[in-house]
Structure 1
Amino acid sequence: MAPLTVVLTGTPAAAASCTTRSGPHQKQVEAFLGRPVDGRQSPADCAAIRAFQTRHGISPTIGYAGPVTWGVMDLMNQQKAAAGNPNRAGRCPTDRGRVACVDLTRQLSWIQDGARLVLGPVPVRTGRDGHETRTGAKKIYWRNQNHWSTLYDVPMPYSQFFDGGQAFHSIPGSVWSPPGSHGCVNMRPADARQYWNLLRNGDDVHVFGRKPGT
């Protein structure tokens, strides 16, 4: 499956109007961006929020501290907190050899060998509502470094398929851009390249959890 192509709609960010309204997550967004936390929208607040929205494909880019923008930031906070020990809860099996773990809830993936963390965690973008990444125990069965999706007519570099048309592969742009892929586990290019170098056909993949909004 190919990734959902992110298209920013409306007026380009440089010319878009900037909202003067405070959003329901104003204080949380201000704190995330290192802005003064007063819960009141300011031109500087709006500029910082719009820059974040533009960078991560969140539309409309009007600087509003709404639930979508805060949801991306909150997910980033959860991912940061998982660094060093992503399998603290033991959701990914450690009674086997090399396994690529995919946590849909936190939108994270990592590779471990038994109890030893080999790589990660790294942020990923999994399937959106109606195109969810399927959970359970899988195995990588086909790899293609320069794969091209004939279904969606887009490149899928470093593809490693583990369940039907679902695969690890890199995408351009932000892995935090909503709403998600068509089922694949989208990765940043450097992360997808490392996965390509570490994994082989027959290696285990374990997908668990539930992506917010699906």
Structure 2
Amino acid sequence: MAAVLVVAALAVGCHPVKVTGSGSPDSKGTRYAPTTPAPPPLGRHTPPAAAKHTTAPRPHRTTHHAPAAPRPVMAAGSRGAQVRELQARLGQLGLFDRSPTGYYASVTTASVRTFQRRQGLPRTGAVQPTAWRALRSQTRRPSHTELHPPTTRPVGTPDPRCMKGKVICISKRSNTLTWRVDGRIVSAMDVRFGSQYTPTREGVFALTFKSRHHVSTLYHTAMPYAMFFSGGQAVHYSADFAARGYSGASHGCVNVRDKTKIAALFDTVKKGTKVVVSR
């Protein structure tokens, strides 16, 4: 009889069937049959259980780096004997128009760039090994005088009128004075000249007189070791030139800034000594 009632209840689908034995009791002590999950409807996809996530190992990648550029032999900020040699060698090629200083700054950088351009090399302004080898192959080893010249700028080619006898040879082109004996340089020094309103006269002259402690009667300024060659124009030591350099100018005289050298020249030359001032 109980089996018939179960079948009838399932057929109409109204209330759960009261059974005895196992099951969960309700508030009245009635036990219910345990519920069995219904199977999924036919034709529907049942997703599989989630698979355990695993990470596949990444393949090893080899990174290819470009070869590092060679370290420069010299660059801006370098200083010393090798820089002095570099400047002297560039000077032999006409690429450095000053006397070697041993300090690698903007002028040297520009000269190196010009050389690199001529050689078809990268214009870095720093001396790479390739550029240094090329420069050395195209120049000779600088002499001591080339490495340690007596003036800020090269003396340059002398005026032909300076090549015979004892001559004070003054060049406006190089801003230098050389004391020459039959063309040979005995001493050399930096000089500056008058402004455009009070220019230093050019030509061939002779010393008229010397005054060791001279003071200008016109400008009331000291002119130590004055050696007059054309009217009131003279070669003399200038403290202003020593302090300010080429930012100033004279009133027509030839200023010298090395006091030791001008003093030695003053003691050497005599009245009548030949003076050549050339452009």
Q: TM-score range by the shorter chain?
A: 0.5 to 0.7
Change beyond 3 A, Cα 1:94–1:107: closer
The 8 Å contact of residues 152 and 190 in structure 2, kept in 1 or not, is answered as no
TM-superposed CA distance for 1:139, in Å, is 0.4
Cα deviation, residue 81, structure 1: 5.1
| 1:132-163 deviations in Å (ceiling 9; x for gaps) | 11000000011111111111111111010000
Distance 1:126 1:30, change over 3 A: same
Cα distance in structure 2, aligned partners of 1:104 and 1:81? 11
Distance 2:162 2:239 in 1: 32
Residue 95 of structure 1: how far off its partner (Å): 4.7
**Which structure ranks higher in relative contact order (CA pairs < 8 Å, sequence separation ≥ 6)?**
1
CA pair 30-156 structure 1, distance change in 2 beyond 3 A? same
Letter in 1 for 2:172: L
1:201 corresponds, among 267, 271, 277, to: 271
Q: Give the SS at the match of 1:93.
A: helix
Instruction: Supply the distance in 1 between the matched residues of 2:274 and 2:267 (Cα, whole angstroms).
Output: 15
Indicate if the aligned counterparts of 1:92 and 1:101 stay in contact, CA closer than 8 A.
no
2:164 matched to 1:96?
A: yes
| Identity within the alignment, % | 27
Whichever residue aligns with residue 151 of structure 1, its letter is: L
Question: 8 Å contact 1:92–1:206 — kept in the other structure?
Answer: no
| 2:202 pairs with one of 135, 147, 150 | 135
Point out the structure with max Rg over C-alpha: 2
* Residue 31 (1) aligns with residue 106 (2): yes
Deviation per CA, 1:166-214, whole angstroms, max 9, x where unpaired? Answer: 00111114352323101001112222212201211000000000xxxxx
Alignment of 1:152-167 (within 5 A): 152-167=219-234
CA distance in 2, matches of 1:126, 1:164: 15
Aligned to 1:187: 256
Which of 183, 188, 191 pairs up with 1:115? Answer: 183
**CA deviation profile, 1:78-118 (whole Å, cap 9, x unmatched):** x5452xxx3x5341424531000110122110110112111
For 1:129 and 1:182, the matched residues in 2 are separated by 9
Structure 1 residue runs of 4 or more that deviate by more than 4 Å after TM superposition: none
The one-letter code matched in structure 2 to 1:197 is D
Point out where structure 1 has 5 or more consecutive residues left out of the alignment.
1-28, 35-76, 210-214
Structure 2 CA distance for aligned equivalents of residues 133 and 103 of structure 1 = 11
Q: Which structure's residues are more often strand, by fraction?
A: 1
Alignment partner, residue 65 of structure 1: none
User: Any idea what the Cα deviations from partners look like across 1:65-90, whole Å, max 9, x if unmatched?
Assistant: xxxxxxxxxxxx9x5452xxx3x534
Q: Residues of 1 paired with 2:174 and 2:183: CA distance?
A: 20
Matches within 5 A, 1:27-66: 30-32=105-107
TM-score scaled by length of structure 2: 0.44
**2:216 counterpart of 1:149:** yes
Higher helix share: 2
TM-score (norm 1): 0.56
Which consecutive unaligned segments of at least 5 residues does structure 2 have? 1-103, 110-148
CA distance in 2, matches of 1:81, 1:160: 23
